Amino acid sequence: MDIQFLGTGAGQPSKARNVSSLALKLLDEINEVWLFDCGEGTQNRILETTIRPRKVSKIFITHLHGDHIFGLPGFLSSRAFQANEEQTDLDIYGPQGIKSFVLTSLRVSGSRLPYRIHFHEFDQNSLGKILETEKFTVYAEELDHTIFCVGYRVMQKDLEGTLDAEKLKAAGVPFGPLFGKIKNGQDVVLEDGTEIKAADYISAPRPGKIITILGDTRKTNASVRLAVNADVLVHESTYGKGDEKIARNHGHSTNMQAAQVAAEAGAKRLLLNHISARFLSKDISQLKKDAASIFENVHVVKDLEEVEI
Ligand SMILES: [Zn+2]
């Protein structure tokens, strides 16, 4: 499981940072990629990665500001031009209005897609669990921005314990149906009378990962709730230390506030994105250094950077 950042800038693109988008790559888990936000130029950034647009099965939108959604019509149209590839449906989750934005853009531009889009719109009253699949559950909660904006908590379900085949062989269990029984938790007795306790040969279930991806927001308790015990928290850092007042006025956070959220939530790792073009590279190291005084495991991400979870 990896996160690849496609756009880490705030508001408008700069040479180094495109506007918001990131890909949660779940290739080993479910052979899918989930996009979070889709700012203008996201499809160009994808060209610089190994991500195949057809693998993008779900897109989650945090809010309707242009720097988070203007890439949708282009990405959705290009996704249709994959010759010889099967056209697979796509789900879009986002605030009410996202459907009308996408359908209007496609209609006005005469774009016809050879696959279907299923829209899942929500508002303040329909948040909470927004998706449950065999392996993942996704929750959304309202944040505190200048327009309705949400954060997402992606929870992988716990992974079943695996069978230790080598250990079983060493214990004299013949490969075959007995393996299946033991894997299902059944104790068995071998022909020579040896008792095999299934629990001794199955590793303990592993807890699933928790990934929290927030939209633009002031510091708010909702962020902390979404990030409780998260393996990774992706939080905006539009402003730096000392800019708390201006951050509040513009509906954003500073690096220090993001670090406070990570600390309060007991998250394991904090990745800062939505970085203003005002920050030069020396400022970026300062952003990290200052935030680390509150939450040590913090990193300011770059476009195209890939982080293993
Ligand atoms: Zn915004």
DSSP for the chain reads -EEEEEE-BSSS--SS-PSSEEEEEEHHHHSEEEEE---TTHHHHHHTSS--GGGEEEEE-----HHHHTTHHHHHHHHT--TTS----EEEEEETTHHHHHHHHHHHTT---SS-EEEEEE-GGG-EEEEE-SSEEEEEEE--SSS--EEEEEEEPPBPP-B-HHHHHHTTPPSSHHHHHHHTT--EE-TTS-EE-GGGTBPPPBPPPEEEEE-S--S-HHHHHHHTT-SEEEEE--B-TT-HHHHHHHT--BHHHHHHHHHHHT-S-EEEE-B-TT--HHHHHHHHHHHHTT-SSEEE--TT-EEE-
Catalytic residue among 37, 67, 243, 303: 67
Active site residue 67: yes
User: Does this model's pTM top 0.75?
Assistant: yes
Q: Along the 309 residues of the chain, how does pLDDT read in single tens digits?
A: 999 999 999 999 999 999 999 999 999 999 999 999 999 999 999 999 999 999 999 999 999 999 999 999 999 999 988 756 678 899 999 999 999 999 999 999 999 999 999 999 999 998 999 999 999 999 999 999 999 999 999 999 999 888 888 888 888 888 888 888 888 888 988 888 889 998 889 888 889 999 999 999 999 999 999 999 999 999 999 999 999 999 999 999 999 999 999 999 999 999 999 999 889 888 999 999 999 999 999 999 999 999 999
Query: Ligand 1 center to residue 292 CA distance, Å?
Result: 25
Query: Ligand 1 center to residue 63 CA distance, Å?
Result: 7
Query: Ligand 1 center to residue 260 CA distance, Å?
Result: 21
Query: Ligand 1 center to residue 145 CA distance, Å?
Result: 7
Query: Ligand 1 center to residue 43 CA distance, Å?
Result: 20
